[in-house]
Amino acid sequence: MRQTYIAGVGMTPFGKFPDERLGTLGAAAALRALADAGISPKDVEVLSCGSARSGVLQGRESGVGQLIGWEVGIEGVPVFNEKAYCASGTVAFNVAFTAVLSGQFDVALAVGVEQMSRRNGKGAPLTSDGMELEGDIGFSPAVYYALAAQRHMAEYGTTREQIASVAVKNRAFAAHNPVAQYRAPITVADVLASKPVVGPLNLLDCCPTGDGAAAAVIVSDAGARRLGITPTVRVRASVVGSGVYSTQAAASLSSFELDVRTARRAYEMASLGPQDVDVAEVHDSFSIAEIIHYEDLGFCERGQGGKFVESGQSSLGGRLPVSTSGGLLTRGHPLGATGLAQLVELADQLRGRCGPRQVEGASIALAQISGGFHLGSFASSGVTILEGSGR
Amino acid sequence: MRQTYIAGVGMTPFGKFPDERLGTLGAAAALRALADAGISPKDVEVLSCGSARSGVLQGRESGVGQLIGWEVGIEGVPVFNEKAYCASGTVAFNVAFTAVLSGQFDVALAVGVEQMSRRNGKGAPLTSDGMELEGDIGFSPAVYYALAAQRHMAEYGTTREQIASVAVKNRAFAAHNPVAQYRAPITVADVLASKPVVGPLNLLDCCPTGDGAAAAVIVSDAGARRLGITPTVRVRASVVGSGVYSTQAAASLSSFELDVRTARRAYEMASLGPQDVDVAEVHDSFSIAEIIHYEDLGFCERGQGGKFVESGQSSLGGRLPVSTSGGLLTRGHPLGATGLAQLVELADQLRGRCGPRQVEGASIALAQISGGFHLGSFASSGVTILEGSGR
């Protein structure tokens, strides 16, 4: 198999930017990634773009990648537009990775973008894609995760305070991440006192909506040589998966089977295991989710996720710092951008560029994302494993 | 480079099926393709789905592939959802092809689906994606192609009757294709007497909207061995491209530069030229388009497209029969399904399965598609070249 590398990353701040446009947000991230890689738009041979809801929100269902390409000055190359719910950015990265892996291309650009603060037309409140019926009867992602929290508490004795401590930890990380959406420190008491959403989850247990974009440049060895660059972040695995619906009757609410399987395939592809991971970004769309991801990814034993965060093992200086960017909870979650924002953080961690939130000596990094619901399972999932060298 | 094959194809009839659902349409095509390949849903390792407007029309922007997978019984595998305007099905095929080419997978299923007769909510009339502004000021695809027709007539002396004869030829083919949407024979006089749309194009010069799905199974040599099948249709090239907007000032309306470039790359990938092509499906969304495609693909000299069709060279028994399925004009054009429907026809041609519309001895087949508009250029384009063997 060809070796592939992340040669550069870049992102916009995440926040509410209703006056921006999809193309300008995506272009800003893309240009930063290209500058970080030290290459020009003309070097890009294939462009892959992830956005989850640009059609419903902004009336542009195809062609977000073309729009970004035009703003940046990337023309004439294959452009892919990926729609995979919250995992859209990760799937866009996987498509770019696979294009390079196939030997057809040596330099690929993956961009994720979303703008949730601006909508053309009125539209209904945003539920997960294709869940209009479920939304009408009250099932929303928050409800799903609230049930997961209740179940995890009942099965494993996970405490409300442990769940809240995920949000506290991630906000502490965000204080040191200038592109994060919410950076003011919070306490467990703040989380517990915040507005109830779906019991036991309160407002500070839930990620915000937002706008933003993130991007990564992927190159092969041949591409790096031709461009005269020396990338130091190797892609050890990029795996995406979809749900197994027929087993839903046996599904557990306190573990996400799809993520377990996707992670297993990624560890196999990388010839690595959870014990090798030094830093991770996970899909902490709700505080409870991060606790379950610890367990599903093998960072700790089943049922021990609450203690893992409470004891500081996922904080800076702990065994495996998680969501050092601030995560979805505090960096923010503009759907299609998130998967690539995770890789921006990890590439920076592996290159020692994270300042006060830097995980010293980080060499192996893992990103995990979940997207969409279908018949009680996640519909899409992605795990990426990166290795840093040369530090 | 790995060799890849189309092991099976299948499609639904194209027409107006407002009572169907995206999932059932896509599943019907997928199951036919799997049956044609002689394999089971459980053999599929990756699923790629193209649909252009499922978000705007049916409120399902991500996850059409997951929905089809669930209906068919394909679960747990990577699923990609491609949005590339009218080229969505072709791009989905390219993503599946690239996944196999990369060596990660040996068996891929590509599905294209669209349902234009059913819309959730009211919505505005459907223009090309992201062209709401242009639509408001009266620019629609029909206007673009009408201008192209006027220009082609002025530059090359192409006659109105030559343009109409494309629609007549394609309807003659459709009479022998049971899945085509419009099968009653028409004459040049019928085309000229049909309702004016945008001068010089009349109703019978324009493809209909419609619903339907089409699918293809792609395998590697290793996959074919493991499955115990002997595919006879080899993929010689699968190339997609996007527009070059900066040259728009120099753009010609009587040639589509993006298609020229995409075709050039495809011929290079296949180590073949236009003289090798025995049968073709092109993006005849409007009658004039097919004439321009003849020229852009190198089937005839520049400006000679009108004579090419008039003289029967693209009819059965001619030098290079084109749109033997009936084409978009008469088989119909459910956007995301069309690219794969083209490959269904060509795989059947290469296997001698087309009955009265069979091109005898066809060995090399080419499909061409155009999608979307951006700044006066097409936004997406695809050319696929297949080779038959073992007949």
CA angle at A219 for the pair A355 and A363, rounded to the nearest 5°: 40
A374 CB neighbours in chain B (<8 A) are 63, 66-67, 70
Q: Which of B49, B86, B206, B300 is catalytic?
A: B86
**What's the pLDDT at A244?**
79
**Mean pLDDT computed over B136-156:** 91
Q: Is B86 a catalytic residue?
A: yes
Residue A312 gets the label, from left (phi > 0), alpha (psi -120 to 50) or beta, of left
What per-residue confidence (pLDDT) applies to A90?
98
Please tell me which of the candidates B62, B85, B130 has its beta carbon nearest to residue A59. B130
pLDDT for residue A118 = 82
> In this predicted model, which residue has the larger pLDDT, A250 or B131?
B131
Q: Which residues of A touch B265 (CB under 8 A)?
A: none
pLDDT value of residue A373 = 83
> Would the pLDDT of A370 be above 70?
yes
User: For residues A253 and A338, which has the higher predicted lDDT (pLDDT)?
Assistant: A338
Average pLDDT over residues A1-9: 95
What was the ipTM of the complex prediction?
A: 0.95
Reported as a single tens digit per residue, the pLDDT across B279-332 is 999 999 999 999 999 999 999 999 999 999 999 999 999 999 999 999 999 999
> How confident is the model over B49-105, as pLDDT tens digits?
999 999 988 888 999 999 999 999 999 999 999 999 999 999 999 999 999 999 999
Closest CA to B336 of B86, B72, B110: B86
> Are A371 and B130 inside 8 Å of each other by CB?
no
Q: Helices H, strands E: what count in chain B? A: 14, 11
- Per-residue pLDDT at B229 exceeds 80: yes
Look at residue A156 and give its three-state secondary structure. Answer: helix
Smallest Cα distance from B331 to chain A, Å: 24
- Taking CB atoms and an 8 Å limit, are A103 and B1 in contact across chains? yes
Q: Is A157 left (phi over 0), alpha (psi -120 to 50) or beta?
A: left
* pLDDT over 80 (residue B205): yes
Summarize pLDDT for A68-101 with one digit per residue, the tens. 999 999 999 999 999 999 999 999 999 999 999 9
**Mean predicted lDDT score pLDDT of chain A:** 94
Separation in Å, CA B310 to CA B169, B280, B307, B332: 9, 17, 5, 22
Residue A263 to chain B, least CA–CA distance (Å): 12
Query: If you average pLDDT over residues A2-13, what whole number do you get?
Result: 97
**Averaged pLDDT for residues A105-122:** 89
Give the closest of A52, A56, A80 to B82, CB-based. A80
| Rounded Cα–Cα distance for residues A182 and B312 (Å) | 68
* Torsion B326-B329-B330-B333 (CA) sign: positive
Nearest-neighbour CA in chain A from B42: distance (Å): 12
Helix (H, G, I), strand (E, B) or coil at A243: coil
What own/partner pairs with CB < 8 Å and gap ≥ 24 does A349-355 have? Answer: A349/A279, A349/A324, A349/A388, A350/A232, A350/A233, A350/A279, A350/A386, A350/A387, A350/A388, A350/A391, A351/A232, A351/A233, A351/A388, A351/A391, A352/A391, A354/A176, A354/A324, A355/A176
- pLDDT at residue A336, as a whole number: 97
Pick the catalytic residue: A49, A86, A207, A354?
Answer: A86
Burial class from Cβ neighbours inside 10 Å (0-12, 13-18, 19+) for residue A189 reads: exposed
Confidence band (pLDDT; 50, 70, 90) for B250? Answer: low
**Is B62–A83 a contact, with Cβ atoms under 8 angstroms apart?**
yes
Does residue B177 sit in helix, strand or coil?
Answer: coil
**For chains A and B, what is the number of CB pairs under 8 angstroms?**
195
Report the alpha-carbon distance of residue A148 to residue A154 in Å, rounded: 10
Is 80 exceeded by the pLDDT of residue B164? yes
Catalytic residue among A152, A283, A293, A333: A333
Q: Cα dihedral sign for B308, B314, B316, B320?
A: positive
Q: What average pLDDT does chain B have?
A: 94
Q: Which of A1, A49, A79, A83 has the highest number of chain B CBs within 10 A, making it the mutation to test binding with B?
A: A83
| Minimum CA–CA partner of A379 in chain B | B66
Mean pLDDT of A289-296: 98
At B149 the three-state DSSP class reads helix
Residue with tokens 């409120």: B59
> How do strand B4-11 and strand B211-220 relate by DSSP bridges?
antiparallel
Query: pLDDT band at B391, cuts 50/70/90?
Result: very low
The residues with which A242 forms a beta bridge, in sequence order, are none
Contact call for A374 and B75, based on CB within 8 A: no
Average the pLDDT over B112-130 and give the result.
Answer: 74
pLDDT on residue A229: 98
> Does residue B124 surpass a pLDDT of 70?
no
> Residue A386 above 80 pLDDT?
yes
Interface test mutation site (partner B, options A21, A45, A62, A70, max chain B beta carbons within 10 A): A62
CA distance linking residue B215 with residue B223, whole number of Å = 18
Nearest CA in chain A to B262: A76
Out of B52, B55, B130, the one facing A56 most closely (by C-beta) is B55
Gap from B124 CA to chain A (nearest CA, Å): 11
Q: What is the DSSP string of B305-340?
A: HHHHHHTTTTSTTSSS-B-TT-HHHHT---HHHHHH
Per-residue model confidence (pLDDT) at position A263: 98
- Smallest CA-to-CA distance from A290 within A379, A196, A165, A382 is with A165
Q: Is A207 a catalytic residue?
A: no
Q: Choosing among B46, B51, B62, B95, which should be mutated to test the A contact, i.e. which has the most A CBs within 10 A?
A: B62
CA-nearest residue to A53 within chain B is: B61
| pLDDT value of residue A127 | 65
